[in-house]
Amino acid sequence: MKATAKAHTNIALIKYWGKRNEPIILPTNNSLSLTLDGYFTTTSVEFDETLTKDQFILDEQVITGEQYERVASFLDIIRKLAGKQLYASITSKNEVPTAAGFASSASGFAALAAAGTKAIGLGLSNMELSRLTRQGSGSACRSIYGGFAEWQMGKKEDGSDSYAIPIAPAEHWDIRVAAVVLSSTKKKVSSRAGMKRTVETSPFFQGWLDSIPQDLTTIKEGIRHRDFQKVGEIAEANCLKMHATTLGANPPFTYWHDTTIAVMQKIQEMRTQNIPVYFTIDAGPNVKVLYLPEYEKIVEETLRSLSGVADIRLSKPGQGVTYL
Ligand code: ADP
Ligand code: DP6
Ligand code: CO
């Protein structure tokens, strides 16, 4: 009763930012992402009759507290689905900084869902696996698929129609993402807490929601035609709208550092020099830069020369969940 799975993180081009149902994680809007080959999680789950509770080891550390509870409650859902009351030993390795805005919850819960369901003997379709994964971390439901995936918010309140679908595989388009590492330390406001505060208090939240259908239509058109400018412009604008909602929250907050703004300004300056680059930022200070392969050298050199940049990690489109 043991299985190991690997899942990559994804970067949202149209952001998931808001829940309409917190316990089972139903979003307020559709979102769309690109799975990245550069960052991933590998997780092993072994169910064991002799255990009296789950144990969770992440990056060689025994985990307790909130991170443990999130994993144990997710395994409760898997146990219920399988109709088996067995505890597990979970060992995970993040090839991505944890809780720093690089989407570790996406690769982490996608790998956990895949390994956990396989270990307990459930044979789920990708659709069922994505729907289950959603309940661990919303963004994770998109990491079941490689390439571009869209999380359809669904209409039903039981969540049965809320899962990701593939939009285009990794092979469709070799678009690249440079992750500009400014800080790998744990963020002060988790994605979960940040979006909750925003939904509850930000007067800008409704404006954010109203703008999404048009962004989605346009970006999907751009992806289909491999129109880099169209995809980049929408992704950058969508990211700025999401981050604007946090400034309207009570108490107000931002995920940005001073260096975040410096990188954004550099990207915009590069465009004036005819280098086609765009940025997007998840819930954290680090910037992800979209570019095409022929600009890789200039993008990497320029970003590395900026002060405050600790590292640059380059990604191609990544594959969906795999079993090892
Ligand atoms: P991030 O930007 O890294 O996704 P979040 O605040 O969304 O930040 O989520 C971070 C949380 O995700 C961690 O505190 C932990 O609870 C969970 N997480 C991260 N990696 C793993 C993993 N490999 N297995 C299980 N849970 C994980
Ligand atoms: C800004 O999926 O990490 O990265 O569902 O509460 O676990 P929970 O939140 P999470 O939120 C991700 C927010 C985002 C945008 C995105 O990935 O779509
Ligand atoms: Co996350």
C-alpha count within 13 angstroms, C-beta hemisphere, residue 85: 1
Helices (H), 161-204: 191-201
Looking at the CA of residue 283, tell me the nearest atom of ligand 1.
2
Is the minimum distance from the CB of 99 to ligand 1 under 6 angstroms? yes
Sign of CA dihedral 125, 128, 132, 137: positive
Domain residue ranges in the chain: 2-172, 176-315
What Å distances lie between residue 31 and 15, 208, 239, CA to CA?
A: 5, 12, 12
Exposure letters 114-124 (e unless 16+ CB within 10 A, then b): bbbbbbbebeb
Is the minimum distance from the CB of 270 to ligand 2 under 6 angstroms? no
What's the ipTM?
0.99
**Domain covering 176-315: architecture:** 2-Layer Sandwich (3.30)
Is the minimum distance from the CB of 143 to ligand 1 under 6 angstroms? no
Q: Closest-lying ligand to the alpha carbon of 103?
A: 1
The protein residue whose alpha carbon is closest to atom 11 in ligand 2 is: 191
Is the minimum distance from the CB of 44 to ligand 2 under 6 angstroms? no
Is the minimum distance from the CB of 318 to ligand 1 under 6 angstroms? no
- Digit-by-digit pLDDT tens for the chain (324 residues) are 999 999 999 999 999 999 999 999 999 999 999 999 999 999 999 999 999 999 999 999 999 999 999 999 999 999 999 999 999 999 999 999 999 999 999 999 999 999 999 999 999 999 999 999 999 999 999 999 999 999 999 999 999 999 999 999 999 999 999 999 999 999 999 999 999 999 999 999 999 999 999 999 999 999 999 999 999 999 999 999 999 999 999 999 999 999 999 999 999 999 999 999 999 999 999 999 999 999 999 999 999 999 999 999 999 999 999 999
**CATH number, span 2-172:** 3.30.230.10
